[in-house]
């Protein structure tokens, strides 16, 4: 693909031209992409448009010491695809605003664009516009657009009592990866998948669209701030409670020993730490058994509990309630996101 991009040589206009060239021409629903005051989309009949936006800021969400520019490019789009998927939408395109220091190394900017555009291509979410400005640190804001059949969007508030509560994939891996990166110690054997997971999330955004299209799910949210917190959002908007079986949480292979190696509590990571970008959803009564559905859709799905009347989540182990501390990531109130989880002993 691209290679490096020297902003001081290109200037703002040259940079926009270079991005436009690399992004390529747009088609499909787009009448106009990069290169005018705005992008223009011709919506398809019978579809609703879904819009989501997310920002990643250097030294808050990531550090170049522990991530590479290409992964950052991938991730800054992927976190938005995750939100689109959670609404049941298929990606249509995106705009990106990039603030960066004028001292940015050319290979860093080139790598970022390569990662971003590769993910844009593979997900069918072309870059159609944006803004490039100077800033004291890197800050990437992406706004992504998707479409969903009229009235089929998945919302947080659609859950009903007795709906099954399902998560895709595995929990806690990204947070463990972050802990490994931030410790700066030689990672133990088997640590590589967790680091990859942190740097290079692969949200199952097509799953949400399938669930919406086939009317299988009643509510959904993507897991960006940790299961406990994101489930809280879903329950609050659905005005319901839930029983969650801790012994059913899908943990990655070698998760428990690597946590032990770092002195971390696996359950705290799986429940309380963010950036898994998996899908949490509630399954309508008429939908097939979860394992069968997962096989059909080609995604690992796990039933972790059920919605019930009442408020808030009740966590059970061996069928008995266990108390949990407040967990999950919050800007401003909590420690900065990139502060990795503390060893259990320090808490």
CA nearest to 249, candidates 186, 324, 188: 324
Q: Is 31 in the site for a copy of itself (CB under 8 A)?
A: yes
Best CA proximity match to 235, nearest among 180, 170, 282: 282
CA distance 108 to 250: 35
Q: Taking contact as CB under 8 A, which single stretch among the options 34-42, 173-181, 189-197, 241-249 is the one that binds a copy of itself?
A: 34-42
Tell which residue, 344, 341, 153, 319, has the closest CA to residue 246: 319
Footprint (CB under 8 A) of a copy of itself, residues 68-107: 83-84, 86-87, 89, 95-97, 99, 102
Select the span of 52-60, 69-77, 174-182, 311-319 touching a copy of itself (CB under 8 A). Answer: 52-60
Contact 277, 182 (CB under 8 A): no
Residue 339 binds a copy of itself (CB under 8 A): no
Q: Which range, of 144-152, 238-246, 251-259, 302-310, touches a copy of itself by CB under 8 A? A: 144-152
C-alpha closest to that of 56 among 127, 137, 119, 152: 137
Task: Report the interhelical angle of 192-199 vs 173-183 (nearest 10°).
Answer: 100
CA dihedral 153, 159, 164, 165 (to 10 degrees): 80
Q: Toward a copy of itself, which CB reaches closer, 41 or 287?
A: 41
| Closest alpha carbon to 74 in 198, 192, 179, 157 | 198
Q: Which of 248, 296, 336, 339 binds a copy of itself (CB under 8 A)?
A: 336
At its nearest, how many Å lie between a copy of itself and the CB of residue 215?
A: 17
Question: Out of 67, 71, 123, 132, which residue is the one contacting a copy of itself (CB under 8 A)?
Answer: 132
Pick from 292, 328, 332, 307: nearest CA to 156: 307
Compare residues 149 and 342 and give the one whose CB is closer to a copy of itself: 149
Q: Does 235 bind a copy of itself (CB under 8 A)?
A: no
Q: Does 57 bind a copy of itself (CB under 8 A)?
A: yes
Of residues 108 and 156, the one with the C-beta less far from a copy of itself: 156
Torsion of the alpha carbons at 168, 174, 175 and 178, rounded to the nearest 10: 180
Figure out which of the listed residues 2, 35, 105, 187 binds a copy of itself, where binding follows CB under 8 A.
35
Task: Please identify which residue in 21, 160, 311, 331 interacts with a copy of itself, judged by CB under 8 A.
Answer: 331
Q: Report whether 293 contacts 301 (CB < 8 A).
A: yes
Q: Which segments within 186-266 are labelled E, that is strand?
A: 217-222, 241-245
Binding residue for a copy of itself, selected from 1, 162, 260, 334, defined by CB under 8 A: 334
Residue 12 is a binding residue for a copy of itself (CB under 8 A): yes
282: Cα separation from own chain's centroid = 18
- Rounded-to-integer distance, Cα 34 and Cα 20, Å: 6
Q: Does the protein bind a copy of itself through residue 292 (CB under 8 A)?
A: no
Q: Which of residues 154-193 bind a copy of itself (CB under 8 A)?
A: 155-157
Helix (H/G/I), strand (E/B), else coil: 127: strand
Question: According to CB under 8 A, which one of 3, 21, 28, 133 is a site residue for a copy of itself?
Answer: 133
> Which of residues 150, 183, 239, 317 is near a copy of itself by CB under 8 A?
150
Question: What is the Cα–Cα distance from 278 to 281, expressed in whole angstroms?
Answer: 10
Residue among 52, 67, 198, 238 that touches a copy of itself (CB under 8 A) = 52
The minimum distance between CB 254 and a copy of itself, in angstroms, equals 31
Residues 203-222 that bind a copy of itself (CB under 8 A): 220-222
Query: Residue 45, interface with a copy of itself (CB under 8 A)?
Result: yes
Retrieve residue 156's tokens. Answer: 């947080």
């Amino acid at each position: 693909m691209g290679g490096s991009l020297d902003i001081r040589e290109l200037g703002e206009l040259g940079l926009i031209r270079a991005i436009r060239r690399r992004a390529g021409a747009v088609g499909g629903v787009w009448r106009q992409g990069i290169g005018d005051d705005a992008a223009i989309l011709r919506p398809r009949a019978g579809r609703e448009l879904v819009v989501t936006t997310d920002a990643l800021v250097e030294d808050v969400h990531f550090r170049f010491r522990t991530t590479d520019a290409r992964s950052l490019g991938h991730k800054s789009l992927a976190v938005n695809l995750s939100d689109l998927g959670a609404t049941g939408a298929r990606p249509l395109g995106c705009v990106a605003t990039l603030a960066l220091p004028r001292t940015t190394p050319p290979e860093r900017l080139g790598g970022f664009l390569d990662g971003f555009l590769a993910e844009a291509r593979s997900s069918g979410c072309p870059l159609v516009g944006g803004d490039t400005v100077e800033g004291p640190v890197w800050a990437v804001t992406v706004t992504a657009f998707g479409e969903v059949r009229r009235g089929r969007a998945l919302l947080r508030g659609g859950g009903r009592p007795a709906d099954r509560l399902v998560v895709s994939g595995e929990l806690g891996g990204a947070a463990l990866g972050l802990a490994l990166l931030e410790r700066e110690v030689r990672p133990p054997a088997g640590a590589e998948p967790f680091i990859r997971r942190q740097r290079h999330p692969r949200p199952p955004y097509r799953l949400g669209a399938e669930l919406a299209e086939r009317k299988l799910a009643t509510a959904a949210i993507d897991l960006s701030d940790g299961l406990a917190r994101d489930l809280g959002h879903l329950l609050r908007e659905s005005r319901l409670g839930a029983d969650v079986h801790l012994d059913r949480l899908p943990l990655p292979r070698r998760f428990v020993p690597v946590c032990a190696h770092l002195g971390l509590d696996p359950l705290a990571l799986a429940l309380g730490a963010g950036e898994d970008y998996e899908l949490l959803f509630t399954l309508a009564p008429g939908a097939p058994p979860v394992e069968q559905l997962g096989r059909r859709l080609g995604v690992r799905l796990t039933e972790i509990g059920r919605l019930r009347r009442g408020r808030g989540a009740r966590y059970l182990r061996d069928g008995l309630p266990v108390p949990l501390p407040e967990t999950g990531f919050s800007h401003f109130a909590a420690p900065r996101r990139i502060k990795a989880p503390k060893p259990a002993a320090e808490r």
